[in-house]
Amino acid sequence: MLQRKRQRTSRKTTEKSDFFDGLPDDLVVSILRKLSSSASYPSDFINILLTCKRLNRLGLHRFVLSKAGSKSLAVKATNWSDSAHRFLKNCINAGNIEACYTLGMIRFYCLKDRGSGASLMAKAANKSHAPALYSLAVIQFNGSGGSKTDKDLRAGVALCAQAAILGHVDALRELGHCLQDGYGVRQNINQGRRLLIQANARELASSLNSFVKRQSQQQNHHNQRRVNYQHYTYATGSGCPLLSDFGCNVPAPEGHPVNVFLKEWFESGMGELSQGLRLCSHNGCGRPETRAHEFRRCSVCGTVNYCSRGCQALDWKLRHKVECKPMERWLEEVGDGEGGDVGMEEVGGAEDLAIE
Ligand SMILES: [Zn+2]
Ligand SMILES: [Zn+2]
C-alpha cells in the first residue's frame, strides 16, 4: 500500500514537470520578465532562479534582465557580494537602465570608483532616467569626487531642470529652491514657488497612492478596518508633515531603493566613512560627503548637514523643525518663540541659504 502511495505521488510530480516542460521557452521568458519588473523584493525573483536549471537559464535571459525593476535590483547593502555586482552588470549588459543607475550610485558613493560610477549614471541619464539626472545634479552642485572648485552650479541646475520636466519630486524641490535663492540660475521667486507647490502636489499624490495601496493590501490580508486618512499613523509613527496642511497624516513617500542601500552601507559598517566625512542628515538620502565640509550644515544648530537644498528643505519639514535649536539654547534653555527660517551655511564658504 505504501508502495502504491509512493507510486501515485511520483506520478503526480512527473505529470507536473511534464506540464512545465511542455511550456515553450518564450512564454516562460515573458512570464519571468513580468515578474522581474514587478517583484517587490530581489528574493521574489532570485528564488525563481534557484528553483531549477531551466528557470535559472531562462531567468537570466537578456529579455528578462533588461526589465528587472528597481525593487528586484534592490540588494541589501549587507548582502553585497561579487555575485550581486555581477548580476547588476549582467542586467546593464542586457540594456537595463535602472541597473545602470543603481550600480552607478553604488560605485560612485560606496565603492569610491567615481569615474565609472558617474559614467554609468550618465548612461542612464542619457536615456532620460530622472533619478540619474537628479543625482548627477547633486554631484555637480557639490563638486563631489573632486574639489570645491569643481562645483558647477549651472550644470547642476540644467540637470535638475531635465529631471524636473520628467516629474522627479526631489529635482522639482531642488530647482524651486535654486530659483527662489538665485543659486546657479537667475533668481525668480514666483517661478521657484510654483515649482515647490508642484513638488508638494506630486508628493501628495504619490504618498496617497502608496498609502492606499498599502492599506488595501492590509485589508486584503486581514480584512481589517476601513481607510482613515485623518488619523492614520505609520508603523514608525512618522507621518508626512508636508501633508498635514491638507488635514492628512500619511507616510512619507518611499525613496529610491539605492538610497536605502547607501544609508545601510555606511550605517551597517559595510563601508567606512573617512575621518571627518558625514552622511546627509536627511533620512531618505544616504549620500556621503566625498571630501571634508562638502555638505552645507544648518547654521542655526550646526548639528545637521545636507547634500542639497532639496534634502534640507524636506528634512526640515519632516523632522528637523522640531529638533533644531540655536546653539546658545543648548547652553541656556531660553526659548525665543518661533525659530523662523533656518539658514544654511557652507563651512568655509560665505553662501547663506535660506529656505522658504
Ligand atoms: Zn541628501
Ligand atoms: Zn538646525
> What ligand has the least distance to the C-alpha of 320?
2
pLDDT score of 236 = 37
- pLDDT tops 50 at residue 128: yes
Domain end position, chosen among 96, 115, 148: 96
pLDDT score of 299 = 86
Tell me, in angstroms, the distance from the centre of ligand 2 to residue 344's CA.
9
Q: How many helices (H) and strands (E) does the chain have?
A: 16, 4
The whole-number average pLDDT for the span 316-333 is 76
> What ligand has the least distance to the C-alpha of 315?
1
Q: Is 308 domain-assigned?
A: yes
Name the domain count of the chain: 2
Q: Is 321 domain-assigned?
A: yes
Tell me, in angstroms, the distance from the centre of ligand 2 to residue 156's CA.
25
Residues 169-193 pLDDT 10s: 999 999 999 999 999 999 999 999 9
Other beta carbons within 10 angstroms of residue 165's beta carbon come to 14
- pLDDT tops 60 at residue 62: yes
Q: Is 210 domain-assigned?
A: no
Query: Which of 28-42, 115-129, 330-344 is predicted with the least confidence, judged by mean pLDDT?
Result: 330-344
Which residues, chain by chain, have CB under 5 Å from ion ligand 1? 280, 282, 285, 287, 307, 311
Tell me, in angstroms, the distance from the centre of ligand 2 to residue 118's CA.
31
Residues 89-109 pLDDT 10s: 999 999 999 999 999 999 999
> What ligand has the least distance to the C-alpha of 312?
1
pTM, whole model, 2 decimals? 0.79
Distance from C-alpha of 356 to C-alpha of 341, rounded to nearest angstrom: 7
Residues 63-75 pLDDT 10s: 999 999 998 898 8
Q: Is 127 domain-assigned?
A: no
> What ligand has the least distance to the C-alpha of 323?
2
Tell me, in angstroms, the distance from the centre of ligand 2 to residue 136's CA.
26
Containing structural domain, residue 316: 257-354
Domain end position, chosen among 96, 120, 145: 96
Q: Is 59 domain-assigned?
A: yes
- Please report which confidence band the pLDDT of residue 338 belongs to, taking 50, 70 and 90 as the band edges: very low
> What ligand has the least distance to the C-alpha of 300?
2
- Please report which confidence band the pLDDT of residue 248 belongs to, taking 50, 70 and 90 as the band edges: low
Domain end position, chosen among 96, 121, 142: 96
Tell me, in angstroms, the distance from the centre of ligand 2 to residue 201's CA.
26
Q: Is 296 domain-assigned?
A: yes
Query: Which of 25-39, 296-310, 316-330 is predicted with the least confidence, judged by mean pLDDT?
Result: 316-330
Tell me, in angstroms, the distance from the centre of ligand 2 to residue 308's CA.
15
Cα–Cα distances (Å) from 323 to 251, 304, 311, 344, in that order, read 20, 10, 16, 15
pLDDT score of 204 = 82
Tell me, in angstroms, the distance from the centre of ligand 2 to residue 326's CA.
7
The answer to whether 118 and 145 are in contact (CB under 8 A) is yes
Q: What's the gap between Cα 3 and its chain centre?
A: 56
